[in-house]
Amino acid sequence: MSYKNFTIETDADGIALVTWDMPEKSMNVFTEEVMNEIDAIVDATVKDEAVKGVVFTSGKSTFSGGADLTMIRGMFSLLQGEQAADPDQAMQKLFDVAGRMTWLWRKVETNGKPWVAAINGTCMGGAFELSLSCHGRVASNAKSVKIALPEVKVGIFPGAGGTQRVPRLANTQDALQMMTTGQTLTPQRAKAMNLVHQVVEPDQLITAAKQMIKDGLKPVAPWDERGFKVPGGGIWTPAAAQLWPAAPAILRRETAGNYPGALAILKCVYEGLQLPFDTALKVEQRYFTQVLRSTEAFSMIRSLFISMQELGKGARRPAGIEKQKLTKIGVVGAGFMGASIAYVTAAAGIAVTLIDRDEEAAAKGKAVSEKLVADSVGKGRLSKEEGEKLLSLITPTADYATLSDVSLVIEAVFEDRQVKKDVTEKIETVLPEGAIFASNTSTLPITGLAENSKRPEQFIGVHFFSPVEKMMLTEVILGEKTGDKALAVALDYVGQIKKTPIVVNDTRGFYVNRCVFRYINEAYDMLIEGVPAAMIENAAKMAGMPVGPLSLNDEVAVDLSQKIMKASIADLGENSVKPEHMTLIDKMVNDLDRRGRKNGKGFYDYPAKPAKKSLWPGLKDFYPQKKAEDVDVGVLKQRLLVTIALEAARTIEEGIVTDPREADVGSILGFGFAPYTGGTLSYIDGMGVKTFVALCETLAASYGDHFQPTPLLKEMAEKGETFYGRFDPYRAEKKAA
């Protein structure tokens, strides 16, 4: 029998090498067709008496990243469609779909012939759960090998046997840590945890896997043998009596109870380890079905799995323009941002000309990359040769003439209109006719900056976030005259450097910074009301934000907030900034020189390491303090999330953001908006627009008109609409179909 996605070669020893290599795909993923073929391969190899065992591997550079995007999307579409018509039937269908992979892997495990997984690259999610169902596991020691069960990061959990096999192989504490955090393991760490049997050189992978079978590998999982004991002795031991009471408390400290998938992992492991294996799998299947139906899982999978992949693959790229692979770009401005942009560009294999006012300043910019490379080499993330190659791609210079052969130039100079005007004019005297000009500005509108250009249709904004090497989001900003080619090239570049782009129209602060400063401004209001600073910060974390608004303000710099406020007043008038906010920040910056982390003092104090930062005690003397018992933490959480989501809704109403996927993904990647919500607009859709509008009106009555719902929100509430319904990003696809 022939297969579309697999080839089978049986050698003279009777070992069938099953190679997974999906045509026309860069990575193997699970689809309905793939699972049907695996099912058929199990039957065929069991039936074939010549086959003594099976080695399962990948024909690609990676093993598999897990489930297919379209399969996941289809499953949720099916659930949404059938839920309303027949809830019981929808639940049963979801339960069956959720268990398909579980019982197929169990079929592999109990087929009667030994299977060995030969792991040659990224092996995550359902792919690693398949590997765990094999009787032997051999991994290559290549740096590209990454092993993980990362499902919790997209709102679900390892529901194809992961929660049952991992704690039966590794000790319970390590198993819980791995699954509740989505931790990525090296092959060596996986072996130390007993999740992999051997780690070998890449060219020995298949040989070693076959040798396991030749050496008499038993086709029986440890838990299917009489007398099997869980590592550490199971649930009813003194060690477990210490672990299990603490585990939920630790999880709550880390997640504030916002992630049902993470809690389900604890339940599956605790209950499953007390049951026979097949019964434990059914328990896992029930919890998985329950979590799949949660708002959190739906929203997180949509934003952090489906939408992020679609945007990363160029969902907003204009049609009809040939994709461009950039080989050389220019970066003008070798300060921290420009230098970091040069680093991520060179890391993607693109040559960079890094320009500043003189050779010394440009060389100082390259030194940023030299330090980053040294750190990566020291930690084993790069080899010495790879580091040297990366650095060889960055050429520091003061000579603008070196831009004569670039296809893209990124201006990253000081945030000043006149400085940017002067640099634009210098660049355009040497820039090739077809090259694209991108400005890395965080606040200045692109349309205004493009007025300095002779070719505004080739002028675009590409806004990076700091630290550039860690932040995965890039805002691509369209000026009024920006053309499709500029957008296409910008998206091609962002794709090459492996960032996720969102495309936004021009406005002050664009999308992310508009939302960020709403978050920070709400904290100013709370301080002025007398809410203790610690309660503000803790409420933010309880709401799901990675850092509190005061901490975030210190990171972006308190004096930057002052500059932005002053610029707003100059451009938009006195009413654009609350006087109380201006007074607070003027006092912090002008009177107390508390500018944030950069000068070691802001809303927090930053002592020398290893001491940790702590809230500045002097804050409590600014305003009369409320007693903690008089402050409703639930309301604080609502205010912090609602003010951001409301600003996101405004950007949609104003036409700044046109695709709800970008609002959601941008809010999570840009500043960590409570990931369990799926992002700003999913937060609104998740509770229902009508409920959100009522919440806004309640908050407005107590805390100010900035909480008043917009006309669009009121209209949507009346019509019972959602953002993903009214601004359906797949409308064109549906029409074409």
pLDDT of residue 570: 87
Tell me what the mean pLDDT of segment 574-601 comes to. 94
Which segments within 448-499 are labelled E, that is strand? 459-464, 473-478
pLDDT of residue 117: 98
pLDDT surpassing 70 at residue 79: no
Q: What is the DSSP letter of 553?
A: H
Render pLDDT for 614-629 as a digit per residue (tens, 0 to 9). Answer: 999 999 999 999 999 9
Domains and their CATH numbers in the chain:
6-293 (3.90.226.10), 328-507 (3.40.50.720), 513-726 (1.10.1040.50)
Of 516 and 2, more confident: 516
pLDDT of residue 90: 74
Query: Alpha-carbon distance 185 to 360, whole Å?
Result: 42
Helices 689-703 and 680-687 sit at what angle, rounded to 10 degrees?
A: 110
pLDDT of residue 80: 62
pLDDT surpassing 80 at residue 59: yes
Contacts with 161 (C-beta within 8 Å, 6 or more apart), sequence order: 102, 105, 106, 129, 132, 133, 281, 284
> What is the pTM (predicted TM-score) of this model?
0.91
pLDDT of residue 26: 87
Pick the closest to residue 108 from 32, 164, 55, 157 (CA basis). 55
The pLDDT confidence band at residue 547, using thresholds 50, 70 and 90, is: very high
pLDDT of residue 77: 64
Q: Give the percent of the chain with pLDDT over 90.
A: 83
Render pLDDT for 341-363 as a digit per residue (tens, 0 to 9). Answer: 999 999 999 999 999 999 999 99
Q: Which two tokens stand for residue 253?
A: 């400290």
The pLDDT confidence band at residue 735, using thresholds 50, 70 and 90, is: low
pLDDT of residue 437: 96
Q: In the β-sheet with 136-140, what is the strand arrangement from edge to edge?
A: 6-10, 15-20, 53-58, 115-119, 136-140, 198-200
Q: Which two tokens stand for residue 446?
A: 């692109």
Q: Which two tokens stand for residue 367?
A: 């030194």
Which segments within 14-89 are labelled E, that is strand? 15-20, 29-30, 53-58, 66-67
Catalytic one among 135, 463, 581, 706?
463
pLDDT of residue 442: 79
Query: Beta-carbon neighbour count of residue 393 at 10 Å?
Result: 19
Pick the closest to residue 122 from 103, 102, 145 (CA basis). 145
Rounded to the nearest 5 percent, the helix, strand and coil shares of the chain are 55, 10, 30
C-alpha gyration radius of the chain: 28
The pLDDT confidence band at residue 81, using thresholds 50, 70 and 90, is: low
pLDDT surpassing 80 at residue 487: yes
Tell me what the mean pLDDT of segment 359-385 comes to. 93
pLDDT of residue 605: 95
Q: Is 463 a catalytic residue?
A: yes
Tell me what the mean pLDDT of segment 74-92 comes to. 67
Query: Alpha-carbon distance 374 to 368, whole Å?
Result: 10
Query: Alpha-carbon distance 76 to 85, whole Å?
Result: 15
CA-based angle 46:49:52, to the nearest 5?
A: 75
Of 735 and 715, more confident: 715
The answer to whether residues 464 and 316 touch, using CB atoms and an 8 Å cutoff, is no
Could you tell me how far CA 463 lies from the centroid of its own chain?
18
* Distance in angstroms between the alpha carbons of the first and the last residue of the chain: 34
Helices 87-109 and 126-133 sit at what angle, rounded to 10 degrees?
A: 40
The pLDDT confidence band at residue 201, using thresholds 50, 70 and 90, is: very high
Tell me what the mean pLDDT of segment 231-236 comes to. 88
pLDDT of residue 43: 97
The answer to whether residues 158 and 183 touch, using CB atoms and an 8 Å cutoff, is no
Q: Which two tokens stand for residue 49?
A: 């008496």
Q: Which letter, b or e, does each residue of 619-629 get, where b requires 16 or more Cβ atoms within 10 Å of its Cβ?
A: beeeeebeeee
Pick the closest to residue 168 from 142, 141, 129 (CA basis). 129
Half-sphere exposure of 372 (CA within 13 A, CB side): 20
The answer to whether residues 274 and 234 touch, using CB atoms and an 8 Å cutoff, is yes
Q: Which two tokens stand for residue 130?
A: 């398949």
Query: Alpha-carbon distance 81 to 525, whole Å?
Result: 43
Which phi and psi angles does 553 have, rounded to 5°?
Answer: -65, -40
Render pLDDT for 630-640 as a digit per residue (tens, 0 to 9). Answer: 999 999 999 99
Helices (H), 619-722: 633-653, 660-671, 680-687, 689-703, 711-719
Q: Three-state secondary structure along 555-621? A: HHCHHHHHHHHHHHHHHHCHHHCCHHHHHHHHHHHHHCCCCEHHHCECCEECCCCCCCCEECHHHHH
